[in-house]
Structure 1
Amino acid sequence: MAVHDIGYVELYTRDKVATVDYFVSAMGFTRVADSVEVEQSSVLLQQGGVRLVVTSGRGIVRFLEQHGEGIADIALTCDDVAETAAAAAAAGATVTDSAQGLPVVSGFGDVVHTLLPADPLVNGLPVGRSWVPTPGAAPAATGRITELDHIAVCLEGGTLEKYADFYREAFGFSRYSSEYVAVGDQAMDSIVVRSGPGSAIFTLVAPDPGKEPGQLDNFLERNGGEGVQHLAFLTGEIIPAVHECRDRGVVFLDTPDSYYDVLAERLPGLRVEIEELRETKVLADRDEWGDLLQLFTRSPYPRNTLFFELIQRNGSRGFGSANIRALYEAVERDRLTAG
């Protein structure tokens, strides 16, 4: 029943043209193929090993009314589709079939997991839809983004253990790390789970119900329940990637100068100039394996829910313990400013 990787991530939107333009024009994705069905149509975008499916149409109206634009499906590749579906059902998931006959497993909130075979591509395109390739598009689209590093999932307070256990029982995920962050009267808890090969990684986050409501509670309210908070895109060179994305219109969360004033003392020997980080507002952290650089976008969607991350790993295998707090504080500043 082992899950190997994330085959694709599907985003539901009211405005497919604007959403596709954001990823193509601002973030460097390539339009690879289109699929038109009776009640919905989709565009497949690719950059490096990341595949995004952008979908709109009558068939997704209920999801959009409840949640707004957001991730609706995280497709998982597995070595035995039928066995994985059976394990998910035994773990308490609802299992249905897609219009193309692929098992669809309930995950968190209204987000599902379509189960794909270990080799999920035909002519470079994901199985399960009638794709029409975009003329002239390179199937192995390249750019600054190389892989999908992880997916951050916002859950209701007090449910982290339940979901961590579910992903272990249903998909063979293991727990990788955990973190508790308190900022003033607010706090969040997190557990990182990943597939056996470590290619599919979910960072499960939830507000501490014993603390004052904060940004995660606001996300759950705006999103109409649990959902994907952000997608983290891995890049080999975050500084030029941030410059390019910002020049193309991506808006990133701000980081105060005081963060960089103490960075040299906190991370001696950092292999990136502090002034470059200050200029781009990139965050830096370190674990026992190496350095981690990351920056988060502001949500481009009306409900201010789903956003994105650029992340560079210089040997690091963690998720930036100090940066988790920095992200929380940056989102909190942005929330208060917007409010």
Structure 2
Amino acid sequence: MAVHDIGYVELYTRDAVTSVDYFVSAMGFTRVADSVEPERSSVLLQQGGVRLVVTSGRGIVRFLEQHGDGIADIALTCDDVAATAVAAASAGATVTRSSQGLPVVSGFGDVVHTLLPTDSTVNSLPAGRSWSYAPGATATAAAGRVTGLDHIAVCLEGGSLEKYADFYREVFGFSRYSSEYVAVGAQAMDSIVVRSDSGSAIFTLVAPDPGKEPGQLDNYLERNGGEGVQHLAFRTGEIITAVQECRERGVVFLDTPDSYYDMLGERLGGLHAQVEELRETKVLADRDEWGDLLQVFTRSPYPRNTLFFELIQRNGSRGFGSANIRALYEAVERDRLTS
């Protein structure tokens, strides 16, 4: 019942035209195919190994009223779809069927997991819908600065991390990869990273410390109407160029104070030549025993200021920027207080 990969991520939105334009015009995705159904219409976008399904229509009104624009489905490819569905039900999950008969497993909040066979590759259209290719599009993976989906950050209620980490282990065969606790002033957040044995499906589970003062994660949970996907992290091999291009096309990135870069050269020897480029693009840097990590975060493009995105470049690093978790927390906090 092991999960191999993330087949696609589905975004529900009130304004499909604007949302698709953001991904295509600003972030470099390609429109691959369209699906029109009585209750909803979907657009399949692709870049590298990332597939996004952008969906709108009257069939998703309840989700939008509760959560606003956000991720509703993280489809998972499994080696045994039927066994995974049985394991999910045994673990207490709700298992339903899509209109096309695919198993759909409840995840966190109102986010679900459609289960797909492992032959649902990046060069095939998502199962269960009637797709038609966009003019000039093919099934071949669209090239761009983004090469893959590095991880998905999930914001949960305080005190629930252990429960969900156990759930993803029991149901999907995920293992715990790392954990982190970050305190900033009177606020604090806890996190557990879980991933599939293949290493292709990674969830960073984050939650506020209920024993501390309310902060940005509590604020997210309120704005989002409960638990949900906080951000998607897109992997790239050229983060400086990717940020420059995205910024020119209208993507707004979170700010980082100059003091962060003033100390960066001393903290990470060997990056002196890059510090000014990092400062100009507001890219964060960290290092672990395997190599360097570069990452930057966008401001949310959605009205309720919930879902946002990350660009991440791994130069050997296998971690998640332990030193940058605090920097991200502080950057989001500054943005929250000034917006």
Normalised by the size of structure 1, how large is the TM-score?
0.98
Residue number in structure 1 paired with 2:34: 34
**1:152 paired residue number:** 153
The 1-side partners of 2:9 and 2:89 are apart by 22
Q: Would the alpha carbon gap of residues 100 and 215 (structure 1) be closer, same or farther in structure 2, given more than 3 Å must change?
A: same
2:242 aligned partner: 241
Whichever residue aligns with residue 27 of structure 1, its letter is M
Runs of 4+ in 1 over 4 A off after TM superposition: none
The alpha-carbon deviation at position 137 of structure 1 amounts to 1.6
SS in 1 for 2:220: helix
The Cα of 1:128 is off from its aligned counterpart by: 1.1
- Using the aligned pairs only, state the percent identity: 87
In structure 1, the partner of 2:72 is 72
Q: Write the distance in 2 (CA, Å) between the matches of 1:119 and 1:99.
A: 20
Which residue in 1 is equivalent to 2:113? 113
- Distance (Å, rounded) in 2 between the aligned partners of 1:122 and 1:287: 30
| Residue ranges of structure 1 left out of the alignment (5+ in a row) | none
Kindly report which structure 2 residues correspond to 1:1-339, keeping only aligned pairs within 5 A, or say none: 1-121=1-121, 124-139=124-139, 140-270=141-271, 273-338=274-339
8 Å Cα contact 1:28/1:143 also seen in 2? yes
Q: Distance in 2 between matches of 1:243 and 1:322?
A: 24
**What is the CA-CA distance between 1:122 and the residue it aligns to?**
9.5
CA distance in 2, matches of 1:91, 1:21: 40
- Give the number of aligned pairs: 338
SS at match of 1:126: coil
1:17-69 CA distances to partner (integer Å, 9 max, x unpaired)?
00000000000000000001110000000000000000000100000000000
Tell me which amino acid in the other structure corresponds to 2:154.
Answer: V
RMSD: 1.0
8 Å contact 2:46–2:52 — kept in the other structure? yes
Contact 2:4 2:77 in 1 (8 A): yes
Question: What secondary structure sits across from 2:107 in the alignment?
Answer: strand
Q: 1:95 & 1:69 partners in 2: Cα distance?
A: 24
Q: What are the Cα deviations for residues 260-291 of structure 1, in whole angstroms up to 9, with x where unaligned?
A: 00001100012861000001010000001000
Structure 2 Cα separation of the partners of residues 238 and 257 of structure 1: 19
Q: Which moved more, 1:81-90 or 1:129-138?
A: 129-138
Take 2:71 and 2:190, find their aligned partners in 1: how far apart are those partners?
A: 22
Q: Is the 8 A contact 1:149 1:234 kept in 2?
A: yes
TM-score, normalised to structure 2, is: 0.98
The alignment partner of 1:5 has SS state of strand
Matched letter for residue 137 of structure 2? A
Distance 1:184 1:123 in 2: 47
